Structure 1
Amino acid sequence: MLGIGIVLSIFGLGFFCWLLFTLAVYALPFLAGLTAGLAALQSGAGVIGGLVVGFFAGGATLALGQMAFATTRKPVIRIIIGLLYAVPATVAGYQVSFALAGIGMSSGGWQTAFAVIGAVLSGCTAFSRMTLLVPPPDGQGTGGAYSLADERLHDQRH
């Protein structure tokens, strides 16, 4: 019985870590949606109105950020947009990692060390997930270099 509990605990912690890294990019849209939904609720929109406003604000924040990141060409602006999404994910990653580390260890120093590692990994994951939507540059990069090399090889043979 003890062995089953240990195995299930490991799978449970692994699931929470996977969930943290999968949902890391949604920390800023969630925060924006939650803030807008609570503001609408406090202004008298009711529960349904608050939910609608919150979902709309969160979805718009995610969609606009991804569109802006994918369409801009300047690397500095991409870094700024990526950091806007990575910083809240880093804070959320720190809090979750600190709580998960508190389950298995009582030492404050080790708990903080694991939380910092989790925060850095969560922030990097959120930033890298934002870059997944960027189309490859035309004629540049590895794809363009390989196609040019293939053309040169084809021209030399004929």
Structure 2
Amino acid sequence: MSEKSYTVGRLAADTGIKAVTIRYYEKIGLLPKASRSESGYRLYSEADYSRLLFIRRSRGLGFSLDDIRELLSLADRQQDSCAGVDAKVEQQLEQVRSRLKDLRAMEQELERLSACCDGGAIMDCRIVETLSGEAAHNRRAKCS
């Protein structure tokens, strides 16, 4: 029984990754060069399908393409320790936590600004004044 093969269109449909992105991943070496049919169409294997799902899930977790390249390299060495993968995931987790902290601070600042709005015309908008730094130059108190 022969292994299932995918055209780039079928692979795109089945993985949810655009064909142009699949060709890009092939170009930069995240995906091995596809074999070609007699008519010249790219043909991808089940292993390519699995690799693309790995890439898509990794991207969904915020890993960079360089990180994914490293993770794929580690995953290709089946008998090695998974310590390298664990370390990469921990590093990504720390980055996510840092971004969440920044996002929470942004959320609080936006809530503070939103509470400043009394309605009315833009020329009297305390949010615009605060964002532009004009509140410090005007008589009205800065939105706080």
- Structure-1-length-normalised TM-score: 0.27
Choose 1 or 2 for highest CA Rg: 2
More helix by share: 1
